[in-house]
């Protein structure tokens, strides 16, 4: 790439010439005790052009004129060291072969080497200091005022970082180097007693995190940053409770599970939320396996604008697919995820497709034109109470939409088809769960019966924090409105995981599948919804049942107290990944339910609620609903 000269190049170049001159002259002065005779002055003038040529040549060779010095790093300083050392050696070799050091002390060149490194490095570091602490566009008067007039300095919030590890160090470094941030970090706290009294970039580790209140009160701290992304739920809860005892605001660096690219930065800091209390540990992925079946392939994701679909897309792009097709029926979510991904992953080929899985023509068109090799099917209707009222929608979209894309993927010999299922398919108590269980049967039997090369598999898991329509946004809205917060039942429990974690495990399961498997993700410990509601109220600064009331409104249609991950006749086997299990489930004879599916299609077209539920019961015997109890 051709190096384009900028006006700043000429400024730096001129300053380097002056510093080289000062360095050589200073070397003469220091060596000869500040007394130079006529002969030494002549030697200086003779050596100066040679010093210019050799040093500028090596400075240019080591890219010292291409760097943006406001971002000077240790690598830049190392380049200065290499350039100065080699130029001085070359300089000395020339003198050795031309004059044999006649009339000159060899120590002049050693002192010149030292001064060159100090002056050139100092000039670059002063540029970085100016931009970091004074600001771009500042004048010399601003530079002077920074030191003599504290009133002119920007008002910064006194901040303590909890966590004196790699994450805390990175956060502090970014705050220090970014003059636009309004934080002033005064020190660290950490749970390791061995770190107390030590320093990070000159700032002290005051003590343990249990002493938050003391240090916040004594130092007038306004903000606390919790920078321990590896902390479990109990540790986060303990630190948050301690922060609540102070008047300081507190924020958190999300867990590594949430950080899609694994990079910690000031942009990732946010307010503490309920998901931080889940304590989900980072997922260890076999990147080689995942990259082996996704890298360089055309990948299609249905429901790409949804919570899981969009999360899958973000994860998939990390493994360099040849092309990612976003298949979505809703225009606005498709538009938003397309913009978001293209901004986050510039240079990647991302193709948005506005289409409906219920329309076979939409699917056929994208398969025939783009030829996807890997399919992740995440499109589905998921709202349980809504689908109890409109069961034909669940049948048309979830069941026959899935049949459409399964058939077309088979016809075009896709390499792999991954179906995203739910724990509500286990002993389903609602139409949504029953429809997803039918889809599992369709996908599993397609793999067993078809002659296609396509590998079909299913991944089953529970609720995800932050998904569209989940309970947390509802609770937050109710809290903002002053309550009450409505909980269906005091004993209702659910399994939760984070969207990035679920998506990562879906990709990993896809790499492990050989065909026909139903993989079950480790959902961890179940969570009481009542306790979740109370935690959210406390996070908002209120007291449950005092400031914000909690009301129990009863189970909604199709809802049950406990979700399950296994049904009768199923058993799990461990896999190579500790968070992924595979079912040993009974296999259905698909030919036996073909006629039933056709009946189901007919009832859905006619919108016959009762007949739809009865036929779902025939196909999925474990489907239990109050509807059947009422009929009996």
Which active-site residues does the annotation give? Answer: 424
Q: Are 434 and 384 in contact (CB under 8 A)?
A: no
Q: Are 205 and 188 in contact (CB under 8 A)?
A: yes
Residue with tokens 């002055």: 41
Select from 441, 466, 470, 476 the least CA-distant residue to 583. 441
Rounded to whole angstroms, the Cα distance separating 90 from 56 reads 12
Kind and range of the H or E run holding 267 = none
Residue with tokens 């902390």: 231
Answer positive or negative: Cα dihedral of 360, 362, 366, 369.
positive
Rounded to whole angstroms, the Cα distance separating 572 from 584 reads 6
SS3 category, 210: helix
Q: Residue 98 is encoded by which pair of tokens?
A: 């031309």
Q: Residue 397 is encoded by which pair of tokens?
A: 């979209």
Pairing relationship of beta strands 416-422 and 374-377 according to DSSP bridges: parallel
Residue with tokens 């609720």: 463
In a 13 Å sphere around the CA of 329, the CA atoms on its Cβ side amount to: 14
Pairing relationship of beta strands 323-328 and 350-354 according to DSSP bridges: parallel
Select from 382, 434, 442 the least CA-distant residue to 622. 434
* Phi, then psi, of 251 in degrees rounded to 5: -135, 170
Q: Residue 131 is encoded by which pair of tokens?
A: 């931009």
Select from 277, 281, 156 the least CA-distant residue to 226. 277
Residue 420 β-bridge partners: 459
SS3 category, 78: helix
DSSP state letters, 109-125:
HHHHHHHHHHHHHHHHH
Rounded to whole angstroms, the Cα distance separating 80 from 59 reads 7
The four Cα atoms 503, 505, 506, 511 give a dihedral, to 10 degrees, of 130
In a 13 Å sphere around the CA of 310, the CA atoms on its Cβ side amount to: 19
Rounded to whole angstroms, the Cα distance separating 518 from 499 reads 20
C-alpha distances in Å from residue 337, one per residue of 305, 306, 323, 351, 411: 6, 9, 15, 11, 29
Rounded to whole angstroms, the Cα distance separating 187 from 182 reads 16
* Phi, then psi, of 421 in degrees rounded to 5: -110, -170
Rounded to whole angstroms, the Cα distance separating 428 from 421 reads 12
Q: Are 56 and 16 in contact (CB under 8 A)?
A: yes
Burial, 48: exposed, middle or buried (Cβ in 10 Å; 0-12, 13-18, 19+)?
middle
List CB contacts of 556: < 8 A, sequence separation 6 or more.
384, 385, 488
């Amino acid at each position: 790439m051709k190096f384009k000269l900028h006006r700043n190049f000429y400024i730096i170049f001129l300053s380097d010439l002056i510093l080289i001159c000062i360095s050589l002259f200073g070397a003469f002065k220091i060596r000869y005790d500040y007394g130079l005779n006529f002969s030494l002055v002549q030697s200086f003038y003779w050596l100066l052009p040679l010093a210019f040529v050799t040093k500028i040549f090596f400075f240019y060779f080591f890219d010292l004129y291409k760097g943006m010095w406001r971002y000077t790093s240790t690598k830049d300083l190392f380049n200065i060291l290499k350039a100065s050392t080699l130029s001085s050696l070359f300089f000395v070799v020339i003198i050795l072969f031309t004059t044999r050091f006649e009339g000159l002390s060899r120590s002049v060149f050693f002192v010149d080497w030292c001064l060159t490194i100090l002056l050139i490095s100092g000039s670059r570091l002063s540029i970085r200091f100016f931009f970091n602490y004074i600001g771009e566009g500042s004048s010399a008067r601003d530079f002077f005022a920074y030191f003599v007039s504290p009133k002119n300095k920007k008002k910064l919030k006194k901040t303590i970082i909890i966590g004196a590890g790699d994450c805390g160090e990175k956060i502090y470094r970014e705050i220090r180097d970014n003059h636009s941030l309004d934080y002033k970090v005064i020190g660290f706290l950490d749970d390791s007693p061995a770190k107390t009294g030590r320093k990070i970039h000159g700032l002290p580790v005051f003590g343990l995190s249990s002493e938050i209140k003391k240090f916040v009160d004594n130092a007038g701290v306004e903000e606390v940053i919790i920078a321990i992304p590896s902390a479990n739920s109990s540790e986060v809860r303990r630190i948050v409770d301690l922060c609540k005892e102070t008047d300081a605001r507190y924020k958190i660096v999300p867990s590594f599970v949430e950080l899609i690219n694994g990079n910690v930065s000031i942009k990732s800091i946010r307010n503490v939320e309920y998901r931080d209390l889940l304590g989900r540990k980072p997922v260890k992925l076999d990147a080689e396996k995942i990259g082996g079946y996704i890298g360089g392939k055309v990948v299609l994701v249905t429901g790409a604008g949804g919570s899981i679909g969009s999360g899958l897309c973000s994860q998939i792009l990390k493994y360099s697919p040849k092309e990612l097709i976003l298949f979505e029926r809703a225009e606005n979510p498709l538009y938003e995820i397309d913009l978001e991904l293209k901004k986050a992953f510039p240079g990647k080929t991302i193709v948005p497709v506005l289409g409906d899985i219920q329309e076979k023509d939409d699917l056929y068109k994208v398969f025939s034109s783009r030829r996807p090799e890997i399919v992740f099917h995440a499109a589905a209707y998921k709202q349980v109470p809504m689908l109890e009222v409109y069961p034909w929608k669940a049948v048309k979209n979830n069941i026959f939409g899935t049949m459409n894309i399964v058939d077309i993927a088979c016809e075009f010999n896709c390499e792999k088809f991954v179906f995203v299922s739910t724990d509500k398919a286990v002993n389903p108590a609602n139409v949504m769960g029953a429809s997803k269980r039918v889809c599992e049967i369709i996908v599993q039997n397609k793999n067993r019966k078809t002659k296609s090369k396509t590998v079909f598999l299913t991944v089953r898991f529970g609720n995800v924090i932050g998904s569209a329509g989940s309970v947390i946004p509802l609770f937050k809205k109710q809290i903002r409105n002053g309550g009450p917060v409505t909980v269906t039942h005091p004993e209702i429990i659910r399994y939760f995981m984070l969207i990035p974690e679920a998506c990562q495990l879906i990709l990993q399961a896809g790499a492990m599948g050989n065909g026909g498997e139903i993989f079950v993700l480790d959902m961890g410990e179940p969570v009481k919804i009542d306790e979740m509601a109370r935690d959210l109220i406390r996070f908002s600064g209120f007291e449950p049942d005092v400031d914000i009331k909690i009301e129990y409104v009863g189970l909604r249609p199709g809802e049950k107290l406990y979700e399950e991950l296994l049904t009768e006749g199923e058993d799990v086997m461990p896999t190579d990944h500790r968070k992924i299990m595979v079912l040993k489930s009974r296999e259905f004879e698909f030919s036996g339910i073909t006629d039933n599916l056709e009946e189901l299609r007919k009832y859905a077209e006619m919108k016959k609620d009762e007949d739809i539920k009865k036929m779902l019961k025939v196909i999925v015997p474990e489907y239990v609903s109050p509807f059947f109890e009422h009929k009996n």
